[in-house]
Amino acid sequence: MNYVHDYSNVLEEKREEITAWMALKRSQIPIPIYGSVDVRDAGWKVAVVDANHFPAGFNNISKEDEPHLAGLLKNHIRRLDAECQWVHLYPESHTRNAGYVENVATIQRLLIHSGFRCTIGSPDLSSHGSLAGISGPVQLSNVELQTIDGKEELIVEGEIPCLILLNNDLTEGIVPGLSSHKVSPPPSMGWHRRRKSQHYLCLQKYVDEMAELLEIDSWHLMARWFVSEDKCLDQQACRIKLAKEVDEFISEIKEKYESLGIDREPVVFVKNDRGTYGLGIMAVKEGKELLELSNRKMKKLMYSKGGADVENFLIQEGVPTLLAEEGGGPVEPVVYLVDGEAASWFYRINSKKGDMDNLNSPSAQFHDYSEVGHLYGQHARGWHALVAELSMLAMGLEALNYGED
């Protein structure tokens, strides 16, 4: 069997070439201010299986990494606006998730450490006063939507901030007032418009180039995928067509496994092509499972945040995780990036799931790199960082394409 880890010596030998290649590619696109990716390491393949442009887990990173993250944030914001003094953080409107609130508090702390004034809030949250986080309340500023000279603007405590940092995935559409401000990430990257498949389409370009540089098969660095469009799963004819597509895809993966000596039954994930907080996902081993969906499972698969219709499905090769907690649960690296650089890691561990399952469920636990890096971090700054940084390039290319549109 060919393991991607068998090529680790090549990765180190070509480190200078990779660094130069990364610098060139970053000069050609708008580098994302931040992002996070879920990485699966199967040994024979290391791949990004989900990429988030509005990361919501900064509270899970190691405190030791915060100075470096703050420095990267400062560099990025200064490139956007050399005179920037005040960053306003625009969060999600849901307020009951203490973990998410702690994420917002962590981003605020990083920005303050970067030397910026940082306020938090939105018009939807202005009546709340504060949000309950894990370590304590997070104070909110009064944010109003006002029309000035014919344009809607967001006014924070009576003034206009230098930069608005979005930590809201805009599933339900671009919120009023943003277009009058400097905003990062760009609102066009919200889930009202963005599709997972568009990310993987852009990512494939960079993975192919990197694989050529490393002289390895690009299959080792990316999960294979395709998009099934306009599938109305409440109608049998649509399910039959989707089931046939899934069976053909599984057959292709099985053929690749056999050619590499991988003794494993292929699994594919059927996902809503838009962001869903880990929901709207189903693992299948054969198309027949889609024909036998119960109403409950079908509704779960069709779930979309904010009640938006599910239009397309991303069918993605399942990548098992070779990493496992001693005595049980599978482990999945989650890489946090700022200014395009893999800067911090934590590990999602779920003792109630298998090595091929979606680990993003209420039973998951999170441990930062300082806690468990000695157990699971052998390839963190090698292969895991590489595929994560390729994903940020792809995210930048997505944003560039949207800007041209």
Same domain for 106 and 161, yes or no, is yes
Peptide bond into 185 cis (omega under 30): yes
Q: Which of 17-31, 302-316, 351-365 has the highest mean pLDDT?
A: 17-31
Q: 317 pLDDT exceeds 90? A: yes
From CA 63, how far away is CA 78, in angstroms rounded? Answer: 23
- Same structural domain for residues 50 and 74? no
Last residue in a domain, options 159, 189, 219: 189
- The amino acid present at 76, given as its one-letter code, is H
Looking at the structure, tell me whether residues 141 and 290 fall in a common domain.
no
| Residue 209 shares a structural domain with residue 135 | no
Could you report the per-residue pLDDT of 174-186, keeping only the tens digit for each? 888 998 899 999 9
Residue 153: give the domain boundaries.
58-189
- Most confident stretch, 85-99, 195-209, 264-278, 280-294: 195-209
Residues 46 and 161 in one domain: no
Q: 138: left (phi > 0), else alpha (psi -120 to 50), else beta?
A: beta
Same domain membership, residue 314 and residue 267: yes
Shared domain check, 166 and 228: no
Whether residues 105 and 212 share a domain: the answer is no
- DSSP secondary-structure letter at 165? E
Domain boundary pick from 148, 166, 189: 189
Domain of 130, CATH number, reads 3.40.50.11280
pLDDT of residue 76: 98
Q: pLDDT by residue (tens digit) across 170-224?
A: 988 888 899 889 999 999 999 888 899 999 999 999 999 999 999 999 999 999 9
Question: What is the rounded distance in angstroms from the CA atom of residue 163 to the CA atom of residue 168?
Answer: 15
The Cα 179–Cα 158 span in angstroms is 18
33 and 65 belong to one structural domain: no
Tokens of 228: 């099934």
Per-residue confidence (pLDDT) for residue 149, from 0 to 100: 80
Q: What does the pLDDT read at residue 302?
A: 66
Do 362 and 387 lie in a common domain?
A: yes
What is the model's pTM?
A: 0.94
- Whether the pLDDT of residue 405 is over 50: the answer is no
Number of domains, the chain: 2
pLDDT bin (cut points 50, 70, 90) of residue 305 is low
| Mean pLDDT along residues 29-52 | 96
Up-side HSE of residue 387: CA atoms within 13 Å toward CB?
28
Which pLDDT score, from 0 to 100, does residue 291 have?
Answer: 87
- Residue 278 backbone zone (phi > 0: left; psi -120 to 50: alpha; other: beta): left
232 and 365: one domain? yes
Asked whether residue 308 carries a pLDDT value surpassing 90, the answer given is: no
Looking at the structure, tell me whether residues 215 and 179 fall in a common domain.
no
Which one of 189, 216, 250 terminates a domain?
189
- Residue 137 dihedral angles phi and psi, to the nearest 5°: -75, 150
Interatomic CA distance for residues 206 and 48, integer angstroms:
13
